[in-house]
């Protein structure tokens, strides 16, 4: 990222950080998102039955199943944000994603039951990337120590690697969102409520989608850079920690409105590419080419 891009990004972030009342209004809006969760069992069941009785209600589709898996992973990485140290966070992230797939067993049945607790064995990009990042944690920490930078640099480097992998497999975006949320909150997430931590991950997810709509799946690579800029701006302006994910979202939305800037921020990071080449890709999808105009794509079930 050039100095001019860095300056422009921080200018957009400073604009997004204006108005603390607006930021906390966003927190209040989030409180109403999980309507069913806020009800007691009987109220929730009545609402679900009412929805099922409405015209146009359809049985869950494959897309709905994937959404359910994504939601389990988002909640797991949100819980990991409560870790006090970076090593603890990385461990919680890996365990949480593995548990998310076990909880999603009714949806992904064969995947969750066959893979058991071995994260790297689950044939889903989110699980595989979480496993790869966890395996890289000690190497990333050693590099940070060698360079004499703060422990949070370990998380940023992990986020860059995960973003590079997710640019090729967007279903792994929740793992990137968790790492970028940690980059923003650092060890202050422990002081936030579970709802605030979950809101942080969801807002980073929304930011990723916003940039990706502008430049394609590779837009996820921009998130660690935007988060770094938000952290600098927040430190200068005294932005509350809980508000930083909302600032990141609005900054990402402004970046998305400038496709030229979004494309530059979405370029691969050389250090992330180096690490990705060392660990290989993601096995969620492979392509086999045969003689003739035929291409067969094999996806993990």
Q: Are 107 and 68 a contacting pair, CB within 8 Å?
A: yes
Picking from 119-123, 239-243, 244-248, 288-292, which range would have the lowest pLDDT averaged per residue?
288-292
**Residue 121, C-beta contacts closer than 8 angstroms, at least 6 positions apart:** 115
What would the pLDDT profile of 211-255 be if each residue is shown by its tens digit?
999 999 999 999 999 999 999 999 988 889 999 999 999 999 999
Q: Does 33 or 149 have the greater pLDDT score?
A: 149
Q: Where are the alpha helices (DSSP H) in 148-287?
A: 152-166, 173-185, 194-215, 223-237, 244-256, 259-265, 270-279
Q: Are 193 and 241 a contacting pair, CB within 8 Å?
A: no
What is the C-alpha separation between 72 and 55, in angstroms, rounded? Answer: 28
Q: Does 289 or 129 have the greater pLDDT score?
A: 129
Q: Does 153 or 263 have the greater pLDDT score?
A: 263
Q: Which helix (H) or strand (E) holds 297?
A: strand 295-299
Nearest to 19 by CA among 249, 253, 246, 258: 246
Q: Which DSSP category does 291 fall into?
A: S
C-beta neighbour count of 47 within 10 angstroms: 13
β-strand partners of 285: 299
Residue 256 has pLDDT above 70, yes or no: yes
Q: Does 65 or 158 have the greater pLDDT score?
A: 158
Nearest to 78 by CA among 299, 220, 245: 245
Average pLDDT over residues 119-135: 79
Question: HEC states along 117-159?
Answer: CCHHHCCCHHHHHHHHHHHHHHHHHHHHHHHCCCCHHHHHHHH
What is the C-alpha separation between 184 and 96, in angstroms, rounded? Answer: 19
pLDDT at residue 274, as a whole number? 86
Q: Are 144 and 153 a contacting pair, CB within 8 Å?
A: yes
**Residue 8, C-beta contacts closer than 8 angstroms, at least 6 positions apart:** 261
Q: Does 189 or 120 have the greater pLDDT score?
A: 189
Average pLDDT over residues 183-196: 93
Average pLDDT over residues 117-124: 66
What would the pLDDT profile of 72-109 be if each residue is shown by its tens digit?
899 999 999 999 988 899 989 988 888 887 776 555 55
pLDDT at residue 267, as a whole number? 92
Integer CA distances (angstroms), 172 to 103, 107, 129, 166, in order? 17, 17, 7, 5
Q: What is the pTM of this model?
A: 0.73
Picking from 19-33, 38-52, 154-168, which range would have the lowest pLDDT averaged per residue?
19-33
Average pLDDT over residues 13-23: 50
Average pLDDT over residues 174-200: 94
- Residue 218, CB half-sphere, CA atoms under 13 Å: how many? 10
Q: Which helix (H) or strand (E) holds 219?
A: none
Picking from 7-11, 99-103, 157-161, 225-229, which range would have the lowest pLDDT averaged per residue?
7-11
Average pLDDT over residues 148-163: 84
Q: Does 46 or 245 have the greater pLDDT score?
A: 245
pLDDT at residue 81, as a whole number? 95
The vertex-136 CA angle with 79 and 105, nearest 5°, equals 45
pLDDT at residue 68, as a whole number? 78
What is the C-alpha separation between 300 and 66, in angstroms, rounded? Answer: 13
Picking from 49-53, 88-92, 237-241, 271-275, which range would have the lowest pLDDT averaged per residue?
49-53
How much of the chain is helix, strand and coil, in % rounded to 5?
Answer: 75, 5, 20
The rounded mean pLDDT for the chain is 75
Greatest mean pLDDT among 2-6, 148-152, 275-279, 281-285 lies in 275-279
295 φ, ψ to 5°? -135, 125
Question: HEC states along 153-166?
Answer: HHHHHHHHHHHHHH
C-beta neighbour count of 279 within 10 angstroms: 16
Confidence at 121, pLDDT banded by 50, 70, 90: low
């Amino acid at each position: 990222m050039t100095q001019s891009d860095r300056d422009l990004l921080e200018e957009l972030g400073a604009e997004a950080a204006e108005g603390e009342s607006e930021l906390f209004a966003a927190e209040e809006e989030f409180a109403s998102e999980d309507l069913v969760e806020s009800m007691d069992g009987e109220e929730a069941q009545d609402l679900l039955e009412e929805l099922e009785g409405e015209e146009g209600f359809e049985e869950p589709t494959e897309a709905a199943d994937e959404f359910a898996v994504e939601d389990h992973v988002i909640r797991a990485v949100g819980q990991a944000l409560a870790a006090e140290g970076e090593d603890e966070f990385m461990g919680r992230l890996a365990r949480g994603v593995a548990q998310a797939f076990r909880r999603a067993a009714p949806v992904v049945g064969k995947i969750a039951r066959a893979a058991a607790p071995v994260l790297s064995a689950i044939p889903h990009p989110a699980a595989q990337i979480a496993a790869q990042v966890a395996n890289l944690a000690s190497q990333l920490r050693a590099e940070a120590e060698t360079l004499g930078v703060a422990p949070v640099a370990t998380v940023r480097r992990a986020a860059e690697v995960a973003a590079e992998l997710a640019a090729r497999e967007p279903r792994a975006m929740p793992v990137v969102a968790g790492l970028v949320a940690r980059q923003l909150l650092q060890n202050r997430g422990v002081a936030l409520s579970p709802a605030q931590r979950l809101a942080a991950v969801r807002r980073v997810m929304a930011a990723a989608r916003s940039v990706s709509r502008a430049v394609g799946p590779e837009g996820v690579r921009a998130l660690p850079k935007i988060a770094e800029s938000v952290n600098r701006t927040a430190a200068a302006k005294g932005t509350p920690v809980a508000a930083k994910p909302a600032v990141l979202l609005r900054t990402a939305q402004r970046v998305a409105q400038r496709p030229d800037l979004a494309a530059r921020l979405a370029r691969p990071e050389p250090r992330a590419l180096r690490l990705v080449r060392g660990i290989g890709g993601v096995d969620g999808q492979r392509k086999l080419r045969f003689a003739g105009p035929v291409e067969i794509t094999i996806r993990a079930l």
